[in-house]
C-alpha cells in the first residue's frame, strides 16, 4: 500500500489525457481519475480493460425472453385459453406471431432494469452512501488524478506531475479509513 496519495488537479481534458499517458510511461500507478464528464480515450490511456456488461445485457435479455415465453404460454394457452379474433388457442407456436411484441417488450424491460441494478451493485452505489469524490470541483469543471506514491522522492514526483500540466497538486497521507 502506498504511503501517500498525490492529488493532481487539471483544468483541461486534453492536458489530462496527455498527462495520463506521460505518467503511465514513467510507471507511476494512477489510482483513479475524477472527471465532470466522460473523456474519450481515457480508459485506454489508463490501461483499463473493456467491460463485460454487454454480455450481462444479452443474458438479461434472454431471461426476459424466457419469462415472456413461459408467461404467455401459461396465461394464454394453458390457464385460460380464449378465442380472440378466431385465432386457435391450443398451440403456442400458432399464436407466436401475436406474442412477438410482448416478447420484445419483456426482453428490453428485463435487460434495462437488470442492467441498472447491475450498474449500481458494480459501482457500489446504494442509498445513503457517502460520496467518494475528494474534490467538489471535479463535478463542475476540473479533473483530478489520484496517484499513489510509494516512498519515492515525493518532490521529484510532484515536479514531474506539475510539468505534465497540473494546475494544483496536493499530498495526502494515506490512512486506512475503511
pLDDT on residue 176: 54
Sign of the CA dihedral running 88, 92, 97, 98: positive
pLDDT on residue 20: 94
Task: State the cell numbers at 63.
Answer: 431471461
Q: Quick one: which H or E segment has residue 130?
A: none
Task: Determine the average pLDDT of the residues in 127-155.
Answer: 85
CB neighbourhood size of 125 (10 A): 9
pLDDT on residue 154: 82
Give the separation between CA 109 and CA 100, rounded to whole angstroms: 14
pLDDT on residue 39: 92
Nearest C-alpha neighbor of 134 from the set 93, 177, 102, 87: 177
CB 64 within 8 A of CB 106: yes
pTM for this prediction:
0.68
Nearest C-alpha neighbor of 95 from the set 64, 74, 67: 74
In this predicted structure, the answer to whether residue 150 has a pLDDT above a threshold of 80 is: no
Instruction: Name the least confident of 16-30, 85-99, 100-114, 132-146.
Output: 85-99
pLDDT on residue 2: 65
Average pLDDT, the chain: 87
Residue 126's pLDDT band, with cuts at 50, 70 and 90, is confident
Tell me the per-residue pLDDT of 35-90, one tens digit each, with 9 for 90 and over.
999 999 999 999 888 888 899 999 999 999 999 999 999 988 888 877 777 766 77
CB 3 within 8 A of CB 151: yes
Amino acid at each position: 500500500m502506498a504511503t501517500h496519495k498525490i492529488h493532481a488537479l487539471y483544468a483541461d481534458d486534453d492536458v489530462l489525457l496527455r498527462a495520463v499517458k506521460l505518467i503511465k510511461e514513467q510507471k507511476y500507478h494512477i489510482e483513479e481519475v475524477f472527471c465532470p464528464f466522460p473523456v474519450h480515450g481515457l480508459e485506454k490511456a489508463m490501461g483499463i480493460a473493456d467491460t463485460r456488461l454487454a454480455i450481462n445485457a444479452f443474458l438479461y435479455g434472454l431471461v426476459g425472453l424466457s419469462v415472456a415465453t413461459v408467461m404467455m404460454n401459461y396465461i394464454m394457452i394453458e390457464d385460460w385459453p380464449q378465442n380472440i379474433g378466431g385465432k386457435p388457442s391450443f398451440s403456442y407456436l400458432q399464436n407466436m406471431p401475436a406474442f412477438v411484441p410482448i416478447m420484445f417488450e419483456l426482453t428490453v424491460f428485463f435487460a434495462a432494469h437488470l442492467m441498472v441494478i447491475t450498474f449500481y451493485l458494480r459501482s457500489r452505489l446504494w442509498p445513503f452512501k457517502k460520496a467518494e469524490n475528494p474534490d467538489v470541483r471535479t463535478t463542475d469543471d476540473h479533473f483530478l488524478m489520484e496517484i499513489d506514491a510509494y516512498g519515492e522522492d515525493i518532490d521529484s514526483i510532484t515536479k514531474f506531475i506539475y510539468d505534465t500540466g497540473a494546475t494544483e497538486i496536493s499530498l495526502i497521507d494515506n490512512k486506512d479509513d475503511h
